[in-house]
Structure 1
Amino acid sequence: MAIKYKVTERGTPGVSGGGSKKYYASATARQKIDLKQLSERLAAISTVSEIDTIAVLQGLVHLLPEYLCKGNSVSLGDFGTFSVHIRSEGKDTPEAVNAYSITDVKVSFRPSVEFKNRMKTVKFTKHK
């Protein structure tokens, strides 16, 4: 199995008119795998039923935000770690920074070393 890519032309960011243009590989033809497909595959490669797999994944979808909203990082072993990162407005003094200064909340995923190593085996195919 391979990741398909296409070639796209992009200008230089922030340069009027795009500046000098270069060509880059860009992943394409992504197919979304839904919870049902994932649970079927997990059930096929384990001793857990599809229904039990769906229940566990649904539980994870419910619990992850709960723990992250409490300021925790959530480690899923050889899968990786989820954590929260915030962005805020800059203020002139430390005292001026408060909860209203926070402008964005993002969930970050850091894959484990095992996960990264498995991704190093990916092959690529040029999409026509």
Structure 2
Amino acid sequence: MSLYVVRQKVDKSKEEEKVRYHGVPVSSGQISIDELAKDISGRCSLHESDVHAAVIALGDVMQTYLMKGNTVHLKNIGMFSISAGSEGFETPDECTPSKVTAQRVCFKADKEMRSILPEIKYQRTYRETTKK
């Protein structure tokens, strides 16, 4: 069961401002690479240390490919890519490579990963603390 809190937000999209209340999910905790390695090793024939090393290497290799302008697709997980942008210029020649900056790592979940969404159920909590 996932947790949520209720937050007040002001809707300013109409002539009259209205206060609205929204359910917002809160984290139930953060899972470490050690916990992932232990869980994965219990589901396959790899030892925890092998899984740990593979996940670390995956992160390193993904960074290398993303820096080269590639997207990285992990089957049943999703697609990672880099977004970039620049300010607007009056002529194309003014938009030089030094003016374009990477802004964020983007992630788009695969259909298989998104398929869990209808299964998630929520329970209200009144604290926004993260459990460990």
Q: TM-score range by the shorter chain?
A: 0.7 to 0.9
Moved more, 64-73 or 43-52: 43-52
1:37 is displaced (CA, Å) by 0.7
RMSD: 1.8
Shift of 1:45: 1.5
Which moved further from structure 2: 26-35 or 101-110?
A: 101-110
Q: Which has the higher contact order (CA 8 A, sep 6+)?
A: 2
Aligned to 2:8: 9
The within-5 A match list for 1:14-53 is: 19-53=17-51
Name the counterpart of 2:121.
123
Q: Which runs of 4+ in 1 moved over 3 A?
A: none
| Correspondent of 2:109 among 84, 90, 111 | 111
Identify, as 1 or 2, the structure richer in helix.
Answer: 1
1:79-103, Cα deviation, whole Å (9 max, x unpaired): 1111111121111111111122224
- Residue correspondences, number: 124
**Shift of residue 3, structure 1, vs aligned partner:** 1.3
SS class of match (1:66): helix
Equivalence for 1:64 = 62
> Counterparts of 2:52 and 2:3 in 1: how far apart (Å)?
29
Tell me the secondary structure at the aligned position of residue 56 of structure 1. helix
Consecutive unaligned residues of structure 2, counting only runs of 5 or more, are: 127-132
Distance in structure 2 (CA, Å) of the matches to 1:13 and 1:77: 41
TM-score when normalising by structure 2: 0.85
Letter matched to residue 88 of structure 1:
S
Identity of matched residues, % = 24
TM-score for the superposition, normalised by structure 1: 0.88
